[in-house]
Amino acid sequence: MIYADNAATTKISSNVLNAMLPALTEEYGNPSAIYDFGGRAKRMIELARGRVAGAIGARSREIYFTSGGTESINWAIKGAASTCRMKNKNHIIATTIEHNATINSLEFLQRQRFDVTFLDAGDNGIIDPAKLREAIRSDTGLVSIMYANNEIGTIQPIFELGEICREFDLLFHTDAVQAVCEIEIDLGKLPVDLLSISGHKIHAAKGVGALYIRDGVEIDKFIDGGNQERGYRAGTENTAAIAGLGVAMQDVVEGRQNKIYVKKIRDRFLEGVLRIGNVRIHGDKEQRLANNANIGFDGIDGEFVVLALNRYGICCSTGAACSAGAVETSRIIKSLGYNSKKAKEAIRFSFSEENTIDEIDYILEKLKEIIKK
Ligand code: PLP
């Protein structure tokens, strides 16, 4: 098998697995228990909290563990909206290219009579900070803009966007689920109040994530119950997955150096794709994640190509959400200005440091065969 769908999920690394195993076997104590056996589990969680914080320049107390990116985003947006409403700030700004976790959270808030402005990302998939400035109103309370896009890999100017939010005293959340593996994040300097992370995109387990909440920022708690996560996110902690997330975040800091190699193989792939011809690359060519290549062959259905590559053991995706086996037309590609037919042509390859040059060449060979046929 050749795995080129790392934006969908990643393989658990051996470091992560080794960190998880004790909690899955001998160290199964409840972290809330007051005896030593529980205390050891609690210590694993606190060690992981420190590691996550350290990797993004945050303080341990600013990190809250969740069940993944979707939960972190739901909490950040709905929790912040709730405190904004108390100040009569019922307007939220986001973008048209956010993940469904954000879009659907905002649609929920629209039903609660919040007003949401979705900024257009233009034909290159990058938000122009001037558009954010223009959209701000006297009742704006929250801005949520993703750091890097999951389909086309475009990277937003988060520092500049955050500075504008600071200027107008707005809460600023960023979905950094796809960004942390490649972009250095220092929350000591980055003007962001809330930041979402997911484990399974960075070689940790599925079903674990974290939300960074800047000291002093007040958002409503999300899950009621016990006193876990300082009472803000109740429920007995997934100790093993959390321990793994801590190690994954630590490894991410060193792993970012692999970006040069990943970019090299991605660029080799794109050069090969351009040689096949009748193809376009979606999203900005420079301001994008090094591992992402989102392409479309003129007149050829993306799903057809993905399934044809699957026959050769190659895993890639159309990049769009899949519901009940049916691939939806990509909202992201459409927001770049393409019609539904063109949006259906999109294919996303997302590489990792584990992909070899031989694998890239094999994908290109099979891609050429399929397209020429
Ligand atoms: N945000 C982005 C940009 C994503 O790519 C994903 C996962 O596809 C999510 C949020 C949701 O994360 P999770 O799968 O951990 O719920």
For 73-106, what is each residue's pLDDT tens digit?
Answer: 999 999 999 999 999 999 999 999 999 999 999 9
Distance 198 CA to ligand 1 centre (A): 7
Are 240 and 121 part of one and the same domain?
A: yes
The pLDDT of residue 323 is 55
3-state secondary structure of 64: strand
Domain finish residue from 206, 223, 254:
254
The protein residue with its alpha carbon nearest to ligand 1, atom 13, reads: 69
Q: Are residues 161 and 282 in the same domain?
A: no
Q: What is the pLDDT of residues 277-333, one digit of tens each?
A: 999 999 999 999 999 999 999 999 999 999 999 999 999 999 766 655 667 789 999
Gyration radius (Cα) of the chain, Å? 21
Mean pLDDT of all residues in the chain? Answer: 96
Q: Does the C-beta of 70 come closer than 6 Å to ligand 1?
A: yes
Supply φ then ψ for residue 222, to 5 degrees.
Answer: -110, -45
pLDDT at 347 over 60: yes
| Pocket lining: 319 vs ligand 1, CB cutoff 6 Å | no
- The model's pLDDT over 45-82, given as tens digits with 9 standing for 90+, comes to 999 999 999 999 999 999 999 999 999 999 999 999 99
Q: Do both 216 and 365 map to the same domain?
A: no
Q: For 270-282, b where at least 16 C-beta lie within 10 A, e where not — what string?
A: bebbeebeebeeb
Cβ atoms 358, 260 nearer than 8 A = no
Q: Which of 209, 238, 254 is the last residue of a domain?
A: 254
Catalytic residue IDs: 322
Nearest CA to ligand 1 atom 9: 69
Digit-coded pLDDT (tens) for 220-242: 999 999 999 999 999 999 999 99
Whether 124 and 214 share a structural domain: yes
CATH number, domain of 175, equals: 3.40.640.10
Nearest one of 58, 352, 37 to 189, comparing CA atoms: 58
DSSP state at residue 199: G
The domain in which residue 345 lies consists of 2-10+257-372
Give dist(CA 28, CA 369) in Å, integer: 52
Q: Hey, which residues does 348 pair with through a beta bridge?
A: 294, 317
- Both 230 and 297 in one domain: the answer is no
How confident is the model at residue 198, as a pLDDT?
A: 98
Domain identity same for 318 and 332:
yes
| Ligand 1 atom closest to Cα of residue 206 | 15
Per-residue model confidence (pLDDT) at position 324: 55
Which runs of consecutive H residues, i.e. helices, occur in the chain?
14-24, 36-55, 69-86, 100-111, 129-135, 158-167, 239-255, 259-276, 302-310, 331-335, 340-343, 357-372
| Residue 191 sits in the same domain as residue 276 | no
Mutation test of ligand 1: which of 150, 155, 174 has the most ligand atoms closer than 8 Å to its C-beta?
150
pLDDT for residue 343: 96
Q: State how many domains the chain has.
A: 2
175 lines ligand 1 (CB under 6 A): yes
Q: Does residue 360 share a domain with residue 243?
A: no
195 Cβ below 6 A of ligand 1: no
**Do 149 and 183 lie in a common domain?**
yes
CB contact at 8 A, 222 and 79: yes
| Centre of ligand 1 from the C-alpha of residue 105, in Å | 13
CA distances from 203 to 72, 245, 350 (A): 18, 8, 14
Asked whether residue 238 falls in the same domain as residue 95, the answer is: yes
- 46 lies in the same domain as 58: yes
Whole-number pLDDT of residue 362: 98
273 and 212: one domain? Answer: no
pTM of the model: 0.97
Pocket test for ligand 1, best of 67, 103, 198 (most atoms within 8 A of CB): 198
Residue that terminates a domain, selected from 254, 275, 293: 254
Residue 356 maps to which CATH number? 3.90.1150.10
Name the closest-CA residue to atom 14, ligand 1.
Answer: 69
pLDDT score recorded for residue 322: 64
Query: Which pLDDT score, from 0 to 100, does residue 319 have?
Result: 74
The pLDDT assigned to 187 comes to: 98
